[in-house]
């Protein structure tokens, strides 16, 4: 039955009848499903703005070629010998450097008011943030494949086989996901994406270069070796080299997992507190 007011308003009776049918409400999307939906949104943006793939395609090629031929002859006597040492490190450096664009993208969305609309939706509250990180995992995977493929063309041979190689990529992606929470927090704190990029580079530059990515720490002064030893990037690179060589070390893996957990536990809640505070 439709009311006189509905009919007087010109609403078709069939439509009103459908809208008034009693029944259970649709089941809300789970936290994981909502996060995947926002991750798919992040990937769809690449379709409309393909320039977003510039950093995950050009940077891996540039870093790998530049450092292989810049340092190979001087440090190892040949590029072929050096590439066995370099590729695991350059894989970590490339993916970790790309993670800062997560914070820049989020900051842009926040300043445009996109996240104000997300907060008004009946979904799991962290879903927009977690989904954005899920979407970026696809970009990190592409960068990893490019580095490894180019490395093999240059002479890199992972003796750990496919299992060691896939395990290495998975470990890098886990660490990248954890590290990205640092940049999401910065996206909430800073006003512009240029500021996010500046602060991110200030943090990433010493972490990636004052590490064992390019050279053996034994050649460094003792005071710098202390920093390199505790540097999480160095720990990750060591674990990746073990995996690609087919000699995984449980202690090295445990340290990397501990760093991943610490980054998520420290910066995840801090990011969500800042996110909720903005509403």
Q: Which residues contact 237 (CB under 8 A, 6 or more apart)?
A: 88, 89, 92, 211, 212, 213
pLDDT tens digits, residue range 161-178? Answer: 999 999 999 999 999 999
- Among candidate residues 143, 144, 113, the one with its CA nearest the CA of residue 128: 113
Q: Is the pLDDT of residue 14 over 60?
A: no
Percent of the chain scoring above 90 in pLDDT: 48
pLDDT of residue 12: 53
DSSP 126-173: THHHHHHHHHHHHHHHHHHHHHHHHHHHHT---TTHHHHHHHHHHHHH
- Biggest CA pair distance of the chain: 90
Task: Using the predicted structure, report yes or no on whether residue 155 has a pLDDT greater than 80.
Answer: yes
Least confident range of 4-8, 66-70, 95-99, 220-224: 4-8
- The confidence score (pLDDT) of residue 2 equals 45
Distance from C-alpha of 243 to C-alpha of 161, rounded to nearest angstrom: 9
pLDDT of residue 124: 82
Average pLDDT over every residue of 186-192: 90
Mean pLDDT on 55-80? 83
Q: From 171, 154, 132, 4, select the one nearest 78 (Cα to Cα).
A: 154
pLDDT of residue 45: 77
Helices and strands in the chain: count of H runs, count of E runs: 13, 0
Mean pLDDT of 79-99: 91
Reported as a single tens digit per residue, the pLDDT across 230-269 is 999 999 999 999 999 999 999 999 999 999 999 999 999 9
Q: Tokens 């690449």 map to which residue?
A: 46
**What's the confidence (pLDDT) of residue 242?**
96
92-151 pLDDT per residue, tens: 999 999 999 888 888 888 888 877 787 778 788 788 888 888 888 988 999 999 999 999
State residue 67's pLDDT score. Answer: 87
What's the DSSP call for residue 9?
T
Strand, helix or coil at 43? helix
d(CA 182, CA 232): 14
User: For 146-157, what is the mean pLDDT?
Assistant: 93
| Percentage above 70 pLDDT, the chain | 90
* Mean pLDDT of the chain, nearest integer: 85
Among 49-53, 198-202, 210-214, which is the least confidently predicted range? 49-53
């Amino acid at each position: 039955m439709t009311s006189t007011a509905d009919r007087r308003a010109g609403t078709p009776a069939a439509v009103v009848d459908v809208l008034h049918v009693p029944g259970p409400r649709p089941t809300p999307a789970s936290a994981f499903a909502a996060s995947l939906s926002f991750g798919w949104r992040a990937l769809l943006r690449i379709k409309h703005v393909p320039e977003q793939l510039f950093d995950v395609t050009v940077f891996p090629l540039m870093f790998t070629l530049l450092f292989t031929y810049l340092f190979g002859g001087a440090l190892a006597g040949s590029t072929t010998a050096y590439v066995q040492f370099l590729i695991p490190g350059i894989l970590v450096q490339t993916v970790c450097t790309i993670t800062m664009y997560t914070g820049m993208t989020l900051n842009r969305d926040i300043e445009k008011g996109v996240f104000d609309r997300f907060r008004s939706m009946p979904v799991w509250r962290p879903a927009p943030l977690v989904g954005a990180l899920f979407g970026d995992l696809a970009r990190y995977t592409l960068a990893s494949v490019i580095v490894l493929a180019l490395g093999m063309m240059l002479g890199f041979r992972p003796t750990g086989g496919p299992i060691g190689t896939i395990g290495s990529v998975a470990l890098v992606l886990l660490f990248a996901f954890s590290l990205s929470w640092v940049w999401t927090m910065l996206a909430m704190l800073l006003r512009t994406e240029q500021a996010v990029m500046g602060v991110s580079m200030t943090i990433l530059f010493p972490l990636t270069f004052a590490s064992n990515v390019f050279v053996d720490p034994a050649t460094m002064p003792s005071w710098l070796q202390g920093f390199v030893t505790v540097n999480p990037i160095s720990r990750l690179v060591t674990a990746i080299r073990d995996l690609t060589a087919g000699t995984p070390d449980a202690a090295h893996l445990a340290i990397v997992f501990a760093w991943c957990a610490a980054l998520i536990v420290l910066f995840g809640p801090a990011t969500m507190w800042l996110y909720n505070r903005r509403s």
